[in-house]
Structure 1
């Protein structure tokens, strides 16, 4: 079994109830965007390009995803790039509004997560393994890919 399939299968053990997966499809993107919004300050300019902690964290996460799987890694890198792009104008708002968006998205996303785990009747995966905080967004992308009939090879490995 590939490292990708092992990571997704381990995370999937905590997410068998379809209602839990559905809440994660909403909650996890909200949490990721919230973190990117909150990390989008301060903004520096390096060789004419914007740079902030959100971009640095996204690059590090993209390397993690690319090491697991090239195709999923490229999708995750693109989504993280989109998230950083969306976060920039929110981070440029006055401090109260920037924090309102960041904290609001974060809290709302976690509410979705905990509702889902209420359906599941099981604690979140990150309680046992902090790496699952990075695997969660990948799990959402993988679930969408599986729903679209893509990456059946990975899905089959996960189900073994």
Structure 2
């Protein structure tokens, strides 16, 4: 089985376009797309919040170190796939960091942890409802390739770009 990057060499498409084509084929139902537009960013934020709560004693950036490292790694993937989408995801990561920093200060580590878990669970329930026979009736894309877990957030951002008339 060839990877998305290998198959893009034969078609002339960028890997991000191939990822979007594969992801979009599993997200044709309008209701499922709407659920994804809400739940995918919620899941992405909740992962950031959960990583934010992992202690990192003895470092200069105690809360948020692991979240920062994960966001940086994801950002490199996005920027490499599309500079314009990568910059958009950088903005999203900065906004998510500010929100998480503020919530950490207000709620404390335990409150942020519980909020992150709650959002994560509710948003994943939404995702699976979107893929149920009620809406899409197809398995989530990440069951075929785990990289689609990274594609979901940038796919939602690309939808916004297209709506605004921006290229990526």
Same fold? TM cut 0.5: yes
Deviations 1:65-107 (A, max 9, x none): 0000000110011101211221123334344422220101101
Q: TM-score with structure 2 length normalisation?
A: 0.82
Cα distance in 2 between the residues matched to 1:86 and 1:20: 27
Structure 2, unpaired ranges of 5+: 1-12
Query: 2: distance between equivalents of 1:135 and 1:28?
Result: 10
Question: Whose relative contact order is higher, 1 or 2, with alpha carbons under 8 Å and at least 6 apart?
Answer: 1
The equivalent of 1:139 in structure 2 is 155
Is 1:82 the counterpart of 2:95? The answer is: yes
CA RMSD of aligned residues (A): 1.8
- 2:60 counterpart SS class: strand
Between stretches 56-65 and 111-120, larger displacement belongs to: 111-120
Please list every run of 5 or more consecutive structure 1 residues that lacks an aligned counterpart in the other structure: 155-160
Secondary structure class of the residue paired with 1:45: coil
The match for 2:37 is 25
Deviation (angstroms), 1:128: 0.9
- Is the 2:52–2:63 contact (alpha carbons within 8 Å) kept by the matching residues of 1? no
Misfit runs of 4+, over 3 Å? none
C-alpha change, 1:95 and 1:59, in structure 2 (3 Å) is closer
Q: Which residue of 2 aligns with 1:157?
A: none
